[in-house]
Structure 1
Amino acid sequence: MKKLIGLALFVLIAISSFAQVKIHSHNDYTHAQPLLEAYSNQVYEIEADIFLINDSLIVAHSKKDKNLTRTLSSMYLSPIAQLQKDKSTKYGFRLMIDIKDNWDLTYPALRKEIEKYETVFDRSKNKNAIQIVISGNRPADSTFRTYPKWLFFDGLPNISYAKEDLKRITMISDNFVTYSRWGGNGEIATEDKDKLKTVIENAHKLNKPIRFWGAPDTKECWQQLHDLGADIINTDKISECKTYFEQHK
């Protein structure tokens, strides 16, 4: 009996550890199947960069590669609303919207688009709603609390957020290169590990998960960041990353 209990505890711990590996679909709109690949793999978060062009919210990495048919609504908001109608497959992920233009100009257009979908993006009204998280050009952190209940923000390290504004932050994100120039293969320097551990621990003191963007997109780096305590793995290789962690529970 004791052996069975011990085995059960081991399995439970292993499952719990795997459950903590969250995948962030970096620049999801550049993937072969935007939204759908990420959704089918049940990632934690999907990222889309937007520009305000002629009163439309256009999904693009830069204005040079803009395509006016690739709107935020057509690529993400409307398809997500349709997916949410299918009760057999829906789950509550996050849509990170990286604002590439001026916040004050972009926000009114964004609010107008989001609020067309009512409860689809509002967890105060629907527990399975898709949470909207703002990154990139954000308003002053002291104003986070003043925005609609459906709007949340990507946090930054080394900022002393007021309690009410901190409630609107879903995670802490930072540039990996700030702490290490490691290429993602072989051994990472102990000094770099210590730097990463410090920022991870500081995020956890705020009870927030942490994500590093700009990190090498390799299996070695995914594992290293996970071992150091990073909660969210930033990747362009969604399926490969998910499979890797499934095989390394």
Structure 2
Amino acid sequence: MKKLAVFALLILFTSPGFAQVKIHSHNDYTHEQPLTEAYANRVYEIEADVFLIQDSLIVAHSKKDKNLTRTLGSMYLSPIAQLHKDKSTKYGFCLMIDIKDNWDLTYPALRKEIEKYGAIFDRSEHKNAIQIVISGNRPADSTFHSYPKWLFFDGLPNIRYAKKDLKRVTMISDNFATYCKWKGNGEIPTADKAKLKKIIDQAHLLNKPIRFWGAPDTKECWQQLHDLGVDIINTDKVSECKTYFEQHK
């Protein structure tokens, strides 16, 4: 916990202008310092893939990589709760939980874990709460509104969400490769830019930010997506991405 406290202090030196660019820490659990690097860089969202194994929520990229000691609670929920005891450094980011197993089986275990911590994960209780966002295997979008008030969802393009369900959608996300095969060097082809811009504009008409996963993780791509209007930059290079945008305001 001492290491967590040191990293928490680093966010006090975050540039005020950085809020203009939102960063999604992709596959955070594979980083050398899961959670702490992303937290220190004050990212908008932190992602963890979760499997249900023996009634436990295990953080892993695949079941082949499973380590039963790497639970959602030990890697994220408990450390976040510890960090939130320090009122001078906490901030309200999103924790995206990518559900890799059956939703109906995983949800009861997830709800039990999250609700142990009360208002820490309930933004309706206080503005700096961590917002839980579900991606991967989700329930039917017509049921989003029926879940506890602390639970939100990663949206998909081209879905006509009912108004009450859209309120639970925090963003629109999609696979970059669906629209573009560009590898991240030079310029995105004009025709592909048009395809990307169409999806970006659709998300903005819903008053939702947009994120593309699977995009080239290069400075050229970060900048060009930002220029197209992408609100949330998906990256595995959190510190580098933050520094880049601080230097290119």
Q: TM-score, normalised by structure 2?
A: 0.93
Deviation at 1:188, TM superposition (A): 1.2
Which residue matches 2:108? 108
Letter in 1 for 2:63: K
Segments of structure 2 that go 5 or more residues without pairing to the other structure are 1-14
Aligned pairs for 1:1-80 within 5 A: 19-80=19-80
2: CA distance, partners of 1:212 / 1:16: 25
2: CA distance, partners of 1:200 / 1:42: 24
Deviation at 1:88, TM superposition (A): 1.2
- Identity, % of aligned positions: 85
Which residue matches 2:231? 231
Which residue matches 2:92? 92
Which residue matches 1:155? 155
Question: What secondary structure is seen at the aligned counterpart in 2 of 1:196?
Answer: helix
Report if the CA contact (8 A) 2:22-2:232 is conserved. Answer: yes
2: CA distance, partners of 1:18 / 1:135: 25
1: CA distance, partners of 2:247 / 2:159: 37
Question: What secondary structure is seen at the aligned counterpart in 2 of 1:19?
Answer: helix
Which residue matches 2:12? none
Letter in 1 for 2:122: D
Deviation at 1:230, TM superposition (A): 0.1
Which residue matches 2:207? 207
Letter in 1 for 2:193: K
Structure 1 runs (4+) deviating above 2 angstroms are 15-20
Report the CA distance shift for 1:36/1:183 in structure 2 as closer, same or farther (over 3 A): same
Deviation at 1:19, TM superposition (A): 2.9
Report the CA distance shift for 1:68/1:16 in structure 2 as closer, same or farther (over 3 A): closer
Q: Deviations over 1:16-57 (max 9, x none)?
A: 985331000000000000000000000000000000000000
Question: What secondary structure is seen at the aligned counterpart in 2 of 1:69?
Answer: coil
Letter in 1 for 2:177: V
Report if the CA contact (8 A) 2:173-2:212 is conserved. Answer: yes
2: CA distance, partners of 1:83 / 1:18: 21
Alignment pair present for 1:168 and 2:168: yes
Q: Quote the RMSD (CA, aligned, Å).
A: 1.1
Letter in 2 for 1:116: K
Larger radius of gyration: 1
Letter in 2 for 1:127: K
Report if the CA contact (8 A) 2:176-2:215 is conserved. Answer: yes
Question: What secondary structure is seen at the aligned counterpart in 1 of 2:224?
Answer: helix
Report if the CA contact (8 A) 2:145-2:168 is conserved. Answer: yes
Which residue matches 1:6? none
Deviation at 1:78, TM superposition (A): 0.2
Letter in 2 for 1:194: A
Question: What secondary structure is seen at the aligned counterpart in 1 of 2:152?
Answer: strand
Alignment pair present for 1:136 and 2:136: yes
Which residue matches 1:221? 221
Deviation at 1:127, TM superposition (A): 1.5
